[in-house]
């Protein structure tokens, strides 16, 4: 996803994601790296994550700009909070693995 996430973009993403789930997609990754105001997508992403989990699928969100999302999380329901938590945790874990791997290579 790229650009500003406004009301029209939320509607577009919601329809696209619903269509993907309807045709049987069970594993979905949403990359927010090149977008801003992405916190507006939290309700859509949380709902999609729950629907996919009910069918044994999963939703991964990457590229979360934490400062932007912190303000939105103050009023967010728990499913949205956990969605951001998992996205940030996944990115931190990936960065940590890369740093450790880089140190190991440097030690050789």
Q: How far is 108 from 95, CA to CA, in rounded Å?
A: 20
Domain 2-107 sits in CATH 3.50.50.60: no
pLDDT digits (tens, 9 = 90+) for 45-58: 999 999 999 999 99
Question: What's the predicted TM-score (pTM) here?
Answer: 0.73
**Mean pLDDT, the chain, whole residue set:** 82
Return the domain boundaries, the chain. 2-107
Per-residue pLDDT for 1 more than 70?
Answer: yes
How far is Cα of residue 40 from the mean position of the Cα atoms in its chain? 12
3-state secondary structure of 60: strand
**Sign, CA torsion 52/58/62/65:** positive
Can you give the pLDDT at residue 24?
A: 95
pLDDT digits (tens, 9 = 90+) for 11-57: 999 999 999 999 999 999 999 999 999 989 999 999 999 999 999 99
Residue labelled with tokens 């969605």: 83
Tell me how far CA of residue 31 lies from CA of 35, 41, 59, 100, 103, in angstroms: 9, 12, 11, 24, 28
Percent of the chain's residues with pLDDT above 90? 50
Can you give the pLDDT at residue 54?
A: 92
């Amino acid at each position: 996803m790229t650009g500003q996430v406004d009301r029209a973009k939320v509607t577009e993403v919601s329809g696209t994601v619903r269509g993907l789930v309807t045709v049987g997609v069970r594993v979905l990754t949403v990359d927010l790296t090149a977008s801003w105001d992405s916190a507006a997508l939290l309700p859509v992403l949380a709902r999609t994550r729950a629907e996919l989990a009910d069918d044994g699928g999963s939703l991964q969100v990457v590229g979360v700009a934490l400062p932007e999302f912190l303000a939105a999380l103050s009023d967010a329901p728990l499913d949205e909070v956990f969605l951001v938590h998992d996205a940030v945790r996944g990115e931190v874990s990936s960065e940590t693995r890369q740093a450790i791997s880089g140190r190991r290579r440097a030690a050789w």
